[in-house]
Amino acid sequence: MAGGVVKKGSSPARSPRGVALGAAKPLPRGRRGPVERQYVAIDLHRRRSLIVRQNGRGEELGVCRIDNDPVALAVAIEEAGPNPEVAIEATYGWYWAVDVLQAQGAKVHLVHPRALDWDDRRVKNDYRDCVELLKRLRLDSLPEAWIAPVALRGLRELVRQRAKLVALRSGLKVQVHAVLAKHGLLPPVSDLWASPAPSGSTPCAWGRPISSRWTRC
């Protein structure tokens, strides 16, 4: 206060009409960049399986072990984002796993186990196998096998099963011939399992056991 005159402060600047005080303008949304594709390797076993995820630079993004179940596998593969590259060996019971992965949109690479050369590694475990599969997957050097369509798998299984039964039959026949050879007996016919001999033929006398024919010098 000077000379009884009180100076009033200046009034605050008025905001333009239609603009509320303290309200910020919404910022324009930036465009999201392309989602980086992930690479996944699965070491499939009978009861449990190991899943390892990496990016294109080989950096590890996640490791998990699941109980073999279609729902558990589908949930685990969702962590890899859209359309991941998945490497899985054609081991025991791979049908269901490949079907689940393809249904989730994954690009599946079915690896031929016998064509893998592990470079004589001294340490071999599930994790190291997955890491090696991922390395070869990024380098496009995996020995891949053909993924048969569902409609053809039944026919392929019929052929496999017949081949197994034929091999079993052949092995049993060889064992019978081996037993006869041990007793010094020759079959009367070339094929013991051919059609029966004609009526009136004389049955072959198979002789006595080896022990009863031994003679002392």
Question: Superfamily for 39-147?
Answer: ATPase, nucleotide binding domain (3.30.420.40)
Looking at per-residue pLDDT, the higher value among 152 and 119 belongs to 152
pLDDT tier at 32 (50, 70, 90 boundaries)?
Answer: low
Report the pLDDT averaged over residues 194-212: 53
Report the predicted TM-score, pTM, of the whole model to 2 decimal places: 0.66
Q: Other CB atoms closer than 10 Å to residue 74's CB: what's the count?
A: 13
Q: Where are the domains of the chain?
A: 39-147, 149-187
Looking at per-residue pLDDT, the higher value among 18 and 120 belongs to 120
* pLDDT above 80 for 206: no
Per-residue pLDDT, 189: 79
Per-residue pLDDT, 117: 78
Looking at per-residue pLDDT, the higher value among 12 and 141 belongs to 141
Q: What is the dihedral of CA 46, 144, 41, 85, to 10 degrees?
A: -130
Helix axes 95-103, 70-78, angle to 10 degrees: 40
Average pLDDT value for the chain: 80
Per-residue pLDDT, 44: 94
pLDDT tier at 217 (50, 70, 90 boundaries)?
Answer: very low
125-130: Cβ within 8 A, 24+ apart? 126/43, 126/45, 126/50, 127/43, 127/50, 127/52, 127/63, 129/41, 129/43, 130/41, 130/42, 130/43, 130/50, 130/51, 130/52
pLDDT tier at 175 (50, 70, 90 boundaries)?
Answer: very high
pLDDT tier at 36 (50, 70, 90 boundaries)?
Answer: confident
Over the stretch 85-131, which tens digit does the pLDDT of each residue have? Answer: 999 999 888 999 999 999 999 999 999 988 887 767 777 789 999 99
